[in-house]
Structure 1
Amino acid sequence: MLLALLTACGAGGGGSEDDASATPTTSPSESPTGATTEETSVPENSPSLPPLDESSKPGSTSELTITGTVQSGVESGCLILEHEGTVYGIYGSYDSSIVYAGAEVTLHGVIDEGMMTTCQQGTPFVVSEAETAG
């Protein structure tokens, strides 16, 4: 925009003869539109990102173990488990002869708060291993 204004002022009439023949110039740090550009660099002390593997994907956390009594959720076919005051929705591949409403279980897995579910209840807990509590 600045360049357009400078060009308009220099090309329009009025002013001295020197003004009419003057051409606007841009510095190396300006683009033709007048916007300044700058190169970006990463500071030496900035943290680096971890490699993208299963544990660093959004919604993934470290392995967690929860124990309690499995209950039926409010939606048909959904199971929940309350552990230390938190209600977890139970998902993943697990043995349904171990994990069912009324069963006392210990579940190993991860929380996935970004998971979309139809159960509408509890923090999503993706089971990797299930065993009877004992």
Structure 2
Amino acid sequence: MDTHTFRTRRLAGPTGLLAGALLLVGLAACGNGSGGDVETQTGAETTETASVPETTEEESPVPEETTPYLDPSLGEPSKSGSDSQTTITGTVESGIESGCLVLEYDGTVYGIFGSYDASVVYAGAQVTLHGQVDAGMMSTCQQGTPFVVEDAESAD
């Protein structure tokens, strides 16, 4: 049996007419245009059943004591105490993402970033890197603790 025809016949019966009438009444009630007040009508008499409170401009929607505070120094290496120069030595490896380099030193994997000589720092090279750890740095490499290289030398 054609589904479209079946649905049409089903809605045309007495139950379908009642459901259609209820749907129309519901839609008409939604579009009464009353704005902020919800009203019900009984004959010629209208009674107010609920009202939406209005806020004044003087009232704050969120109390001050619950307003979150974000410290602007978060994520800035100059504020977090990571200004110290660090030296790491090891073999550079390719990262899991294309174009990313990592180096494992003393049990920690470092992602290598910064301005460095690509003829010295490349996958497979033994190097000594001087720079700073920047734990707040965001990267697409998704691997290791970010290490910003300031100077690189071959360890061979």
TM-score of the pair, normalised by structure 1:
0.57
Deviation track 1:74-104 (CA, whole Å, cap 9, x = no partner) reads 0000000000100000000000000000000
Task: Select which of 114, 117, 124 maps to 2:146.
Answer: 124
On the 8 A contact 2:90/2:105 being kept in 1, the answer is: yes
Task: Select which of 61, 65, 70 maps to 2:83.
Answer: 61
Sequence identity, in percent?
A: 73
Q: 1:70 and 2:101 equivalent?
A: no
Q: CA deviation at 1:57?
A: 3.2
**Matched AA of 2:97:** E
Q: CA deviation at 1:56?
A: 3.2
Structure with max Cα Rg: 2
**1: CA distance between counterparts of 2:82 and 2:109?**
18
On the 8 A contact 2:77/2:136 being kept in 1, the answer is: no
**Matched AA of 1:77:** G
**2: CA distance between counterparts of 1:101 and 1:55?**
27
On the 8 A contact 1:61/1:112 being kept in 2, the answer is: no
Q: CA deviation at 1:61?
A: 2.9
**Matched AA of 1:103:** A
Question: Any runs of at least 4 consecutive aligned residues in structure 1 with deviations exceeding 6 A, and if so which?
Answer: none
Task: Report the counterpart of residue 97 of structure 1 in structure 2.
Answer: 119
Q: 2:118 aligns to what SS in structure 1?
A: coil
**2: CA distance between counterparts of 1:129 and 1:106?**
8
Aligned length: 81
Higher strand proportion: 2
Q: CA deviation at 1:55?
A: 7.1
Go from structure 1 to structure 2 and tell me whether the alpha carbon gap of 1:56 and 1:133 turns closer, same or farther (over 3 Å shift): same
Q: 1:111 and 2:133 equivalent?
A: yes
Task: Report the counterpart of residue 17 of structure 1 in structure 2.
Answer: none
Bigger relative contact order (CA 8 A; separation at least 6): 1
Aligned-residue Cα RMSD (Å) equals 1.8
Deviation track 1:25-46 (CA, whole Å, cap 9, x = no partner) reads xxxxxxxxxxxxxxxxxxxxxx
On the 8 A contact 1:70/1:80 being kept in 2, the answer is: yes
**2: CA distance between counterparts of 1:55 and 1:70?**
24
Higher helix proportion: 2
**2: CA distance between counterparts of 1:107 and 1:58?**
21
